[in-house]
Amino acid sequence: MDGFRNAQQDLDGKNIKVVAASSDPQEKAAELAAEVGLPIGYGIDQALAESLGGYWEANRKFAQPAEFILNPENKIVHVSYSDGPLARTEAEDVIKLVGFLEKRNKG
């Protein structure tokens, strides 16, 4: 998430808004939100994670990362699911994808 904080100026320049959600309780999510400077929801449970198509870590009781990119009409244009610490979407990837989609939609 530090990458998104570090790319905030570029994200703002493309009018890209970033929000996150966590399985953590409110207090812990609020601490992380203050640390990274992004809004972070809390309390993702197994039912919600699975309803979004994500993976639930049953032993440790948390949702693995699921990343969604929505267009201005709030339609999903990209989704990425992970079942571990690899292959997370980076801020630069989001900026490139948004630029690609904008060019494609103009042409």
The CATH number linked to 91 is 3.40.30.10
> What pLDDT was estimated at residue 75?
93
Q: What is the DSSP letter of 43?
A: -
What whole-number distance in Å separates Cα of residue 60 and Cα of residue 70?
A: 29
Residues in Cβ contact with 38 at an 8 Å cutoff, skipping those fewer than 6 apart: 1, 4, 5, 18, 19, 20
The count of structural domains within the chain is 1
Residues 95, 7 contacting (CB under 8 angstroms): yes
Question: pLDDT of 13-72, one tens digit each?
Answer: 999 999 999 999 999 999 999 998 999 999 999 999 999 999 999 999 999 999 999 998
Residues 87, 81 contacting (CB under 8 angstroms): no
Neighbours of 49 (CB within 10 A): 19
pLDDT band at 106 (very low <50, low <70, confident <90, very high): confident
pTM of the entire predicted model:
0.81
What whole-number distance in Å separates Cα of residue 17 and Cα of residue 30?
A: 18
Helix (H, G, I), strand (E, B) or coil at 83: coil
Q: State the residue range of the domain holding 61.
A: 2-106
> What pLDDT was estimated at residue 82?
87
What whole-number distance in Å separates Cα of residue 1 and Cα of residue 77?
A: 21
